[in-house]
Structure 1
Amino acid sequence: MRARSLTTAVYIRVLLLLISLGTAAGGVAYFMARADVERASDHSLILSANMLYALMQEELAAAPAASFPATLLSSEDKLAFRTGARSRMFAVFVHGTCIVHSEDAPSPDIIPQTPGFHYFDHGLWRAYGLEIPQHGLRIVVAERRADIDQTITSFLRQITLPLNILVVASAILLWVMLRSGLAEMRRLSLQLDRRSFHDLEPLDPQVWSRELSGLVGKLNTLLERVRTGIQHEQMFTDAAAHQLRTPLAALRLHAELLTRDAAIASNRIQPLLDCVTQASALIDRMLLLARLDTTAPAMTEFDIAALIATVLSSHALLAVQSGVAFSFEIHAMCRIVSDQALLEIALAALVENSITHAACGGAIDIHVHDLRKGALCMVCIDIADRGPGIPKSCRSRVFDRFYQLREGYGGGHGLGLSIAARAIEILDGTIELGDRIDGPGLVASILLPQPCSLA
């Protein structure tokens, strides 16, 4: 399962918070804008009603008090009203009778004559009634609700694009700020990722910010505990190996002395010597594994052919006793960059394993060649025997410590391949197991990365 990104998680949470706040602010702004528009509309209705009354002053002064002509508003006055308020209607009532109204006004029968603000025609109109008691007049000016909604919609359309641009810009700026703010954590992660297994030196808390100094301090405490634990394990392993070697050496000495006594059957002493030999070999391998776990590679340039020749010569006697012959071919760079001691340990373990399982009279073929995997340059060392091989279902486990295909298989302890795998792992390489293509047998391939300049 892929790990979650802290930057993305914080960004999503902050962005959701900003969206929520923006939505709430937008809702508040909408209702405030609507209230302001309605107040402005009401104020405009009052002004329109008073403007109509002002336009009637001359006609009202000239007309008899008992009756007013339908020409209270001339065509020029109506045009002036329409010019000043195109979306409004008006109606003038004298003692309850409509004597004049605008062309787009609804039927006078549904127009309320009550003073003040009110709605009519199922809420389609917002009206204001101005009462003139001395003349018995009521001037009603109304505006369609749809026009108010259109004004608000137009206002929202005008601010939507700038707001959207602002939201997108804020989201981008927020992402950049979060990435920049968490860059130090990525730098800390990268620094830890570049460390090898053996690099347990504490981090410098002075180069990190105050927010990360606490985390760095805890990491240093953890590194110190790990380093102390490894040291204690190494000390225990060394002490245990030393304490076990002493009685084993004494036991071997006494067993060898007993074999010189003709009165004692040597066939009873030889199994004891074999057990002592196996126990000594087991202790040596366990000690070697423990040391490998705390070994840092020392990379140098050396001759790979000379190293393989050294390993083969050191196993020549064992090969002769097992009836096995070596063949060696190199079709690659002669000099490689690696840790010579670690590679020698791995080669020795694999060669010894091949000798143990190779068929008597067979051959162990060692082939060195170059290999490229994408942009990576590698040197490949193939060690092929003529033994029974390893079933594919078991190949993923044969590198586990003390694992054997069958109990007592090959007379070993199940540590040889573990030692080889651990040594190659320290060198950032891998060991792959395969089958021979020219018959039965196992092929163990060591793959080591190399600078392409040496290829």
Structure 2
Amino acid sequence: MTPSLSLRRQLLIWLLLPQLILWLGGGALTYRIALNYAEKGLDQSLSQSVKSLARQIKPLGSGLLVDFPKAAQAIIEEDPDDRVSYMVSSPPGKFLIGNQAFTNDPLTINTETPVFYRIEIGKKPMRAAALDVSYGDVDQPQLLRVQLAKSYVAHERIAQELIADLLAPLLALGLALSLLVYAGIKRGMTPLTRLERQLQERSSADLTPLELTSAPTEVHSLVTAINRLLQAIQRSVKQEKRFINDAAHQLRTPLAGLINQSDLAINETDGERLRARLHKVHSGALRSAHLVNQLLALARSGSEVQMSRIDLAHLAKDTARELSPRAVSLKVDLGYEGDVQAWVMGSALLLREAISNLIDNALRYGIPPDVHATPTITVRVHAKQGKVTLIVEDNGAGLTDTQREQAFDRFWRGSDLPGGCGLGLSIVQEIAKRHGAQADVSLATSQGLCVSLTFPECAQAS
């Protein structure tokens, strides 16, 4: 892929290129205006000359008296590069005197003011003026035409001088403006250069927020976006480190026990004691597998997931239905109460994990103090006043006030019963945070523990 131009070069191109185009366009327009004014000056000169020449030709009876001194004729013809052509004709078009015959006369002539037009004499374009003069008797009126033409040499020279005098200052102003634009871009790019230097000087482990003061709003917005990204990366790195530390810490003990029990089992000769050793190895393996699954669920709860509209009531009923065979085997009464539908924005995978953990927690520890009482677990979902609340309630022994404050701590366990690892409620709380929900632990209405998750309600699809 071809590398794109830098921002500085793009700014220079888009600022200086229009300036160059405008300067060239202005120069062409200025040259055209200069030619127009030079032509007006040429027409004025031709007007004075043709009138002066007409005054030298005077009617005399039925004839003409031409008083055209040779000195005046020499002055008219003295510049070979700007030669003046003239012709006197009477009637118009019939040559009388002059140094050039005009072959293409204008159709109409004003007898009071000269008429100006373009003409070619000897394949050379010239500017011409024509003036008609009336003479003769009343009975026999006659018309005399005086024509005078000058080349465009002086006209073009004047235009070139004008354009040089006008464009030189414009060029100087353009160069000065270009330097100012370059200096302005360089100064405006300073915050980005400083930001680039800050990033280059950082180590890969430095994820602290960037600092950039006295910079335009756009740069502050960029820095804010980068800082948000750095914070997200920092959270991800912390979660990864915490996951590794938790996994290493929690797996060390069961794996050491497995190794110890397997070593003893290898050297055991008594069948009953060997069976006991293998039973302990099996229990330790189950606990390790459960711990690994919980740790993976905890790591998954902190990853980026796609949110969508979910019927939490349907999801809760479906999850409870999946776990009902296990509840039946444990002789636990697992049921659902609540709304038919309750919509929230969330991830079905994570919410199912949270509900499963709550029900699993209740199945493990929701044992009633009265051995004759039937263990009961009730899952409820209610939508009210813009909130959707998910509740998992059991009729077990519950937790004390102090224990409820620690319920969401990682690896904290409120019971010594085997099988748990102290991560179930931590996973539930992490998932709740990802969904903007509030997780709470309280006493059940009668007895036992009540864990609730309160979500913002999502409008039902039409």
TM-score scaled by structure 2?
0.49
TM-score scaled by structure 1?
0.49
